[in-house]
Amino acid sequence: MSEADEGRSGRPNARRAQGELESEVLAALRSAARPVTAAEVQERLGRGLAYTTVITILTRLRAKGAVTRRRAGRAFEWTAVADQAGLAALRLRRLLDAEADREAVLARFVTALPPDDEQLLRGLLARDLDEPEG
């Protein structure tokens, strides 16, 4: 293995799946009993991540609406407002918002679903339509 194939730790570079680190940060926030600082998130992850990496991920999650922050002295305390399903839903919404023809995208999405997922979606839509607003 060449030096280019190894990280600073000497271990082979393992590319994370898209969103994996965001998911781990969200899980760390959700498992906390109270709002936590970026340093506390870094400690909870226990993976040797740089503080700046944790801040970057928290900032991205905030931009997506998945976390909030509030000033606590010189630092910020962070709180998760979305779970894994909520984060996935935010990603899907951003993808849909980026398309000009929403109807075509939604139609293709639904027709590409396996029958069980299509039935689940129809059931969820019917349930939402049956619930009174307010």
Residues 64 and 17 occupy one common structural domain: yes
Domain count, the chain: 2
Q: What is the domain range of residue 115?
A: 99-129
> Which residues partner with 71 through β-bridges?
76
Task: Evaluate whether residue 103 is within a structural domain.
Answer: yes
* Rounded Cα distance, 86 and 82, in Å: 5
> Are residues 119 and 106 in contact, defined by beta-carbon separation less than 8 angstroms?
no
Q: What is the pLDDT of residues 64-104, one digit of tens each?
A: 889 999 999 999 999 999 887 888 888 888 889 999 999 99
Average pLDDT over the chain, rounded to whole? 84
Question: How would you label 89-113 residue by residue, b for 16+ Cβ within 10 Å and e otherwise?
Answer: eeeeeeeeeeeeeeeeeeeeeeeee
> Are residues 117 and 63 in contact, defined by beta-carbon separation less than 8 angstroms?
no
Residues 29 and 64 occupy one common structural domain: yes
Residues 32 and 72 occupy one common structural domain: yes
Residues 64 and 117 occupy one common structural domain: no
Residues 6+ positions from 30 with CB-CB distance below 8 Å: 80, 83
Angle among Cα 94, 99, 103 to the nearest 5 degrees reads: 105
Task: Evaluate whether residue 3 is within a structural domain.
Answer: no
Q: Is the pLDDT of residue 12 over 70?
A: no
Q: Could you say which DSSP state residue 132 is in?
A: P
Task: Evaluate whether residue 32 is within a structural domain.
Answer: yes
Q: What is the pLDDT of residues 14-47, one digit of tens each?
A: 666 657 898 899 999 999 999 999 999 999 998 7
